[in-house]
Structure 1
């Protein structure tokens, strides 16, 4: 981004401009809480330190029909890292978090490799399946995993066990005529993990000198399709052709697109019209770029005075609704859930105007 463009962008931020009309769905003034099996179990967890409400922080989000799913930052005092809550409620009180698919998948699971240890990144596919990354637990010799849940019956469809532990960050899904693939970013690693659902197989493709942080996938109608990579700890935004992840090569050279105004893009999301959204660590705003045009970062949403390392998490559903949580580590309320109509679905779906292929991006 040129110095002049940075000035224009920052002026846009200072005006508190919002590119969508957000409405508040829920507000939690203090801490989030779980739906416990009983009040006695909650009291016991508070007493023995396995539940510390102040530790609960949303990290990732996915939405399917009337349910919203959150990954919570897993540390001591957070008994479940994958939870759900309704997208609406008739009650005046904000909903509590329900461990997904049940408490049995979380409680007392530190030494059980068939439990969910640390959920970190997820996505819902077009068939209504929830894909969830799980960091595993090296102390218990439990490798990292990919869970796939059928959201119609909440049953587990597949558990894929990786040959390595930890450092998962996020994933995107590529539904093609040749099968469904997941592309996975790992913290501070110069590679992308590729998983084939039909083959139940995963492999690593190196991205030399680019430690991948957040990740996003271009729209279905883009030819050729690209994977967008934000470099960990830096402002750089890169891309690689998806074909490079399937052709048998184990190395691909990312192409630099431009620089975001801030470093550490921790979450990116593409919509069905080709707009790329990004959130940044310790920044009180989110940005967008229309990927069908030359790079131009624009303000999407910001909160004055917000102080948090990981302030937002967001997702698009199949009904063109943009969902966002806002976490404030200093001010009240600490948590809010917002939504806005944005006239675009998740990248998982074709744009309504483009049932086939209707735009070619020359800038990726």
Structure 2
């Protein structure tokens, strides 16, 4: 059996995908490794305890163009938390992770250089190809918000520095005419941090306190509707929403609206541009969805049959119609890591819903055609009526002319 067929067969045995057909992209057995500058540097890091490959775990995922970006949990003293890898590979072996932005910036003497990303958390790609990254900071470095211009040689800009370190969790982006609103959650905090950015300039930054709940996972509804921010706590199954208009207004406190109850405690949520929200849960072996245009009803989207060795087994992202997923599981008693993808026909919430735009365009086009036909019919009717009137006047004129001739002839006879 070919390696490709074998991979598909094993994927079928270990996955119980219920809503999409997933294909295996990469798989690592037992451990993931970096793309080291040399084998000697890797050997030294292993010997010094500065590299523990079995403790590398994906936490957040983003995708743009031909690259995947992973935020890694820095258990122990692993040197790098933000890496990239290609979306495709011609090699049968899984790729090694490329540190961002370079190994030099992640060398031991630079690890507390506060002018670089220390510990990547939530990520999001905006509509112009900039990767926004939450940085958890380090013992001597405050938490930060960065942008990486993927379409422009990975140019990295510091957007905002927070007056604390640690506890950063996730973010979503609300692109408006006034700038980009960044909504940020923190672990075990009853608040949403709001930053308004115009280009790379922060126009405003404030905190909205949430009554009676901690916000951890976060998702933003699509552009085509009155937007809502969906939030959940890692300590509760409940799903809540907040009006984005209320957040734009600069309110200091808010009382979220209860939406429904998941079957688990969410640690990661994602919205697509059709209004479907995806959610992964602490310690659960599945990902669920809910279509927000309908009453709350959780549906299984992806499920793995094998036991998992992580309480946070999944991360996911959307690009041009493809759902990307990282999954941590076990195989023959050993931990394994997989990246899978499935065609779902939807994009990130960042993008407009083209199907709705198509419907609106068709309605507009139909209206224009109908209006054009009505104008044409009216013009033809006017022309016909005008011609009838001209013909009628000509007929009367001819009859009058004939009457005059007849009278003259009669006079001549007399």
- Matched with 2:253 is 251
Check conservation: 2:237, 2:261, Cα contact below 8 A: yes
Check conservation: 2:217, 2:233, Cα contact below 8 A: yes
Check conservation: 1:106, 1:116, Cα contact below 8 A: no
RMSD: 1.7
**How far did residue 333 of structure 1 move?**
6.0
- Matched with 1:21 is 21
- State yes or no: 1:293 paired with 2:294: yes
Q: Distance in 2 between the 1:329 and 1:111 partners?
A: 34
**For 1:305, what is the secondary structure of its paired residue?**
coil
- State yes or no: 1:149 paired with 2:148: yes
- State yes or no: 1:328 paired with 2:329: yes
Check conservation: 2:324, 2:339, Cα contact below 8 A: yes
Q: Distance in 2 between the 1:187 and 1:309 partners?
A: 16
Q: Distance in 2 between the 1:182 and 1:76 partners?
A: 30
- Matched with 1:184 is 184
Deviations 1:31-62 (A, max 9, x none): 10000111111111111111010110000000
| Stretches (4+) displaced over 2 A | 104-111, 329-333, 354-358
- Matched with 1:73 is 73
Q: Distance in 2 between the 1:179 and 1:31 partners?
A: 42
Counterpart pick for 2:356 among 354, 357, 364: 354
- Matched with 2:222 is 219
- Matched with 1:269 is 270
TM-score, length basis structure 2: 0.79
Please list every run of 5 or more consecutive structure 1 residues that lacks an aligned counterpart in the other structure.
Answer: 1-14, 359-364
Q: Distance in 2 between the 1:222 and 1:123 partners?
A: 21
Check conservation: 1:119, 1:133, Cα contact below 8 A: yes
Structure label with greater radius of gyration:
2
Q: Distance in 2 between the 1:89 and 1:267 partners?
A: 28
Please list every run of 5 or more consecutive structure 2 residues that lacks an aligned counterpart in the other structure.
Answer: 1-14, 361-414
Q: Distance in 1 between the 2:181 and 2:44 partners?
A: 42
**How far did residue 159 of structure 1 move?**
3.5
Give the count of matched residue pairs.
Answer: 339
Query: Aligned runs of 1:69-108 on 2, under 5 Å?
Result: 69-108=69-108
Check conservation: 1:269, 1:276, Cα contact below 8 A: yes
Q: Distance in 2 between the 1:95 and 1:222 partners?
A: 40
Task: Call closer, same or farther: CA 1:251–1:148 in 2, change over 3 Å.
Answer: same
Deviations 1:278-305 (A, max 9, x none): 0001100000000000000000000013
**How far did residue 132 of structure 1 move?**
0.5
**How far did residue 196 of structure 1 move?**
1.2
Q: Which has the higher contact order (CA 8 A, sep 6+)?
A: 1
- Matched with 1:38 is 38
Task: Call closer, same or farther: CA 1:357–1:83 in 2, change over 3 Å.
Answer: farther
Query: Which is further off, 188-197 or 322-331?
Result: 322-331
Task: Call closer, same or farther: CA 1:34–1:17 in 2, change over 3 Å.
Answer: closer
Check conservation: 1:221, 1:356, Cα contact below 8 A: no
Check conservation: 1:314, 1:325, Cα contact below 8 A: yes
**For 1:41, what is the secondary structure of its paired residue?**
helix
Q: Distance in 2 between the 1:176 and 1:100 partners?
A: 29
- Matched with 1:203 is 206
Task: Call closer, same or farther: CA 1:166–1:136 in 2, change over 3 Å.
Answer: same
Where is the helix percentage greater, Structure 1 or Structure 2? Answer: 2
**For 2:258, what is the secondary structure of its paired residue?**
strand
Check conservation: 1:55, 1:77, Cα contact below 8 A: no
Counterpart pick for 2:340 among 338, 341, 360: 338
Q: Distance in 2 between the 1:106 and 1:170 partners?
A: 23
Task: Call closer, same or farther: CA 1:159–1:44 in 2, change over 3 Å.
Answer: farther
